[in-house]
Amino acid sequence: MIIENLFKEKRPVLSFEIFPPKKEAALLSIDETLSTLAKLNPDFISVTFGAGGSGGKNKTVELAKKIKEEYEIEPLVHLTCINHSEEEIRILLKQLEAAQLKNILALRGDFNPEVPPRHDFKYAGELVAFIKKNGDFNVSGACYPETHLEAADPVSDIRNLKKKVDAGVGHLVSQLFFDNQVFYDFVEKVRIAGIDAPVEAGIMPVTNKAQIEKMVTMCGASLPPKLQKILNKYGDNKAALFDAGMAYAIDQIVELLSNGVGGIHIFTMNNPVVARRICDGIKNLI
Ligand SMILES: NC(=O)C1=CN([C@@H]2O[C@H](COP(=O)(O)OP(=O)(O)OC[C@H]3O[C@@H](n4cnc5c(N)ncnc54)[C@H](O)[C@@H]3O)[C@@H](O)[C@H]2O)C=CC1
Ligand SMILES: Nc1nc(=O)c2c([nH]1)NC[C@@H]1CN(c3ccc(C(=O)N[C@@H](CCC(=O)O)C(=O)O)cc3)CN21
């Protein structure tokens, strides 16, 4: 299945994102997570690769294989390039090819202060071109409604996005955002720039104050006053913040769907309860 084609056949598309757990024990509980996620019938599940710059032994391919073979759901395999040589990427592409994993989210990757970056790839666009040259893959990319943190300004960020898409990206997943207007304005600019690829909205459900604060700093997302108030009032009450965070995410998704968004990509953070609650809130809209 080719992810970019989904958007021609079925709208809105619904997808989840998970990360490979670092601890061996947590890798066992991933089956519980996946069986719940599978029941919610997503169009695909993406698997992060060194998310947030984390190093260590990478379990992305192993987990993607499991999703495809045991759960019969299409995986979207994240691949980051700043810490890899061309040769290493070539080996990873061979592994993906052997496992018939054909959908790749090509990323530059976050800088890890403990790992000096390699120099074969500087931008995601270079990885996109390399993947296209070295195999038969469908490539997705990331985009930034509030501008990538390192970009000089919004215009150059969108010009860089256009170069990346022209290198062979057929589908975009947005960075998380909490203010839908920011997303609509961004998509309009993307279209004016001549980028026609479908743009999925990245939704991060709020369940934990510290996690959201870390995420906002890492991702350069702004917190609208309505969400800031929720965090102030319920930040120290886990159960209350869960209810409020779920209501916020569902409200955000309902509004995006009513505006005809092409797809919703939920960063589940491996929490199946979150995904189930949200899907329950939108089950007749998708
Ligand atoms: N590990 C994972 O699973 C995930 C990681 N991310 C992270 O988001 C961050 C950005 O990644 P990408 O969007 O893939 O990076 P990118 O290479 O598309 O863009 C990164 C920065 O470089 C600039 N840029 C891009 N192409 C350029 C060019 N040709 N000339 C000059 N400047 C250029 C962009 O404007 C942006 O500021 C990374 O930190 C990435 O890892 C995002 C989602 C998931
Ligand atoms: N800049 C950036 N990097 C990303 O990796 C990323 C984004 N943006 N935006 C959307 C999602 C959010 N992602 C994330 C963000 C944080 C963790 C995280 O906190 N991971 C823990 C691992 C926890 C564990 O293994 O149990 C970590 O400590 O890195 C995971 C995925 C991946 N994506």
Residue identified by tokens 């995904």 is 275
In this predicted model, what pLDDT tens digit does every residue of 6-44 receive, in sequence order?
A: 999 978 999 999 999 988 777 778 999 999 999 999 999
The residue annotated as part of the active site, out of 4, 9, 17, 69, is 17
Looking at residue 26, its pLDDT comes to 75
ipTM of the prediction: 0.94
Q: Which of 22, 21, 64, 19 is nearest to 44 (CA)?
A: 64
User: Domain 3-281 belongs to what architecture?
Assistant: Alpha-Beta Barrel (3.20)
Instruction: Output the pTM of the full model.
Output: 0.96
CA–CA distance, 230 with 97 (Å, rounded to integer):
45
- 114 token code pair: 């403990």
Domain ranges in the chain? 3-281
* Ligand 1 pocket member 163 (CB < 6 A): yes
Reported confidence tier of residue 55, pLDDT bands at 50, 70, 90: low
Q: Express the helix, strand and coil content of the chain in percent, nearest 5 each.
A: 50, 15, 35
Which ligand sits nearest to residue 46's alpha carbon?
A: 1
In this predicted model, what pLDDT tens digit does every residue of 104-116 receive, in sequence order?
A: 999 999 999 999 9
